[in-house]
Chain A
Amino acid sequence: MPSQLVRDNLRTNKLPHIWCAGCSNGIAMRAISQAIENLGFDKKKVCIVSGIGCSSRTSGYMNYNTLHTTHGRAIAFATGVKLANPNLKVMVVTGDGDCSAIGGNHLIHAARRNIDITTIVFNNNIYGMTGGQFSPTTPMENYGTTAPYGNMEKPFDICNLAAAAGATYVARGTTYHVNPLVKLLEKAMIKKGFALVDVMSTCPTYYGRKNKKGTPAKMLKYFKDNTIDTKRVEKLSKEQLENKIIIGEFKNTDELEFTDKYLELIKGWEG
């Protein structure tokens, strides 16, 4: 029997989901539901937009207004939805490949524009849906089916990217640290502006297997053992930070939001 939270927020008749056994996307999806529930949003006004990939199948399971778009374009579709109807609480669920490779341009421009969209990245460091190719967040020297000799490319830090591009709220959580993740998601969702939460997720089937990361539980434990909160970063040396995942808040500022500015413009022409 699904929990009350699941029944109130997910389309239970669409479950079980298509994700592999041991994938932690489900933990991230549940955390989003929990944050929405905690904030008491009117669910008829919540709109989840997603792209293509494992993460993006989330929209089909969530019982709000849901839009499953094309690869990389979720933020661009969401921009149209939000500007057309600013009363909607628009969120994007995307993956590391979807939002930082094919959709990278939309990500940085939505951040620059500071449009009120909460973007939640299920970051599993791999293209899972297509079978384990390296993505822009695959660490150097890690393996993927298209990096059979190890990844030669330097990865993106999606949080730093979004922050530099102008996002007003940026945070990273993991699917191990669920309660703190829910809190980060809540803060992102109530931010009036472009907010991004990079959610470290696990792909035992492809990333894990290719890189000998062990069982699904071991992959989650890796998050427990190898994360450092942003608040502690300044106190640590470069060596102590090496290969660590920084979690917590990266940026939290307040700036005028795009659709608010547009509505002001329209108001000036009324009457």
Chain B
Amino acid sequence: MKVKQIKLMQGNEACVEGALAAGMKFFGGYPITPSTEISEISALKLPRVGGKFIQMEDEIAGIAATIGASLTGLKSMTATSGPGFSLKQENIGYAMLAEIPCVIVDVQRGGPSTGMPTAPSQSDIMQAKWGTHGDHPVIALSPNSVSETFHLTIRAFNLAEKYRTPVFLMLDEVVAHMREKIEIPVASELEIFDRVRPEENDTKYMAYKVPANHLVPPMASFGDGFDFHVTGLMHDEFGFPSNDTDNAEKLMNRIMNKVNDNINDIVDYEESFIKDATTIVLAYGITARSAINAVKTARERGHKVGLFRPTTIWPSPEKQIKKLLKNVKKIIVAELNLGQYVLEIERIVAGQAEVFFLGKANGEIITPTEILTKIEEVI
């Protein structure tokens, strides 16, 4: 966009706009409610900007094509919902080990199984962390508005490219489908990160070796003339299969630490009314919209309550939550599931504050009144 634009759009639409602004040139997907608009709008818009859209034969193929496209140098994305997110998990792990950047949008719906396809949930939060087998690095973001969906989609691409890893954008059905005002900034005001590529004349290129002063190995594209191999087997610095135990340990540590050592760059969050709060509500995504309303009402009633809203779900904002524990004695974790992220918060808090849980899995959102009632109950 050359001029700032004010628009009314839904979250799924803002996701595609954000992806295009970030430089998305490939989308591989499969229809699934409530994420389908992301496919539909990508199908419409990508060929107009020289990009490619393909509707694959199933969810597994959707992520496979997305990874394949990324290997040719294109910024790539796929989108799905619970059942499809389950199906994609093996190839997600592939992209994590083979270090192939891509963005995976999961518009969470009521589950398990087919569940409630048109109802919201936040019940894939632990699947985002542990869905694929083996230890693996995870970056997952969660926006709470249409506008933030635009910006976090760009951030998801930037983090994927920067850290050479798949990044999850965890929407929920309400954020995905509600329509809100959004201000689309001028393109030049957006910060866009492109993967680091090897120097053209680098004759000693090693596909999985991190040169000095680099976060990750520079990534060559198929067809650029570099000789390299990509595999989901444990591999050496050239990319070839290796069963060497020292090599495996080194590789595992490297892919975990590229995220763990850069938590300050990856973790993002928002705090409201935190300064003097002794009780906080911790909520993300659509639940944070109800939570801020409840917190404001509680403040009007004289309660010292604040809101902590992680926009990066994984890695979790451990340092920031620990810092809050100086003043905060009670934490209410509100989320649209029967107790997932609360486990992470309990781990972080480790008994230093009381942790309360407010959850729901009946297909409705958690209302401000329910959160307010919980606040007044625990205070």
Residues in A with CB closer than 8 Å to B68 are 49, 67, 76-82, 84
Selecting from B152-160, B225-233, B322-330, B351-359, the interface stretch reads B225-233
Interface residues of B (CB under 8 A from A): 25-26, 28, 47-50, 52, 54, 56-58, 60-61, 64-74, 76, 90-91, 94, 221-225, 227-233, 240-241
Which of B49, B60, B67, B229 is close to A80, meaning CB atoms less than 8 Å apart? B67
Known: A68-B230, A73-B91. A80 touches B65 (CB 8 A): yes
- Contact A106–B71 (Cβ < 8 Å): no
- Contact A47–B65 (Cβ < 8 Å): no
Interface contact tally, CB-CB below 8 A: 129
Interface residues of A (CB under 8 A from B): 14, 44-45, 47, 49, 59-60, 63, 65-70, 73, 76-85, 87-88, 105-106, 108-109, 262, 265-266, 269-270
- Contact B52–A68 (Cβ < 8 Å): no
Residues in A with CB closer than 8 Å to B56 are 76, 79, 109
- Contact A83–B26 (Cβ < 8 Å): yes
A44 and B228 CA atoms in complex are apart in Å by 11
CB-defined A-B contacts under 8 Å, sample of 7: A60-B241, A67-B222, A79-B56, A80-B68, A80-B71, A84-B72, A106-B57
Majority secondary structure of chain A interface residues (helix, strand, loop or mixed)? helix
- Contact A79–B52 (Cβ < 8 Å): no
- Contact B64–A80 (Cβ < 8 Å): yes
Which residue on B lies nearest to A81, using beta carbons? B68
Known: A49-B68, A68-B233. A106 touches B61 (CB 8 A): yes
Question: 16 additional contacts, CB 8 Å, given A79-B65, A82-B68, A84-B69?
Answer: A44-B224, A44-B225, A65-B223, A67-B222, A77-B64, A77-B65, A77-B67, A79-B64, A80-B66, A81-B222, A84-B25, A84-B26, A84-B71, A85-B221, A108-B57, A269-B48
- Contact B240–A105 (Cβ < 8 Å): no
A45 and B50 CA atoms in complex are apart in Å by 21
Which residue on B lies nearest to A79, using beta carbons? B65
Residues in B with CB closer than 8 Å to A59 are 229, 231
A73 and B91 CA atoms in complex are apart in Å by 9
Which of B28, B76, B223 is close to A47, meaning CB atoms less than 8 Å apart? B223
Residues in B with CB closer than 8 Å to A105 are 57-58, 61
Known: A65-B223, A76-B60. A81 touches B229 (CB 8 A): no
Which residue on B lies nearest to A14, using beta carbons? B240
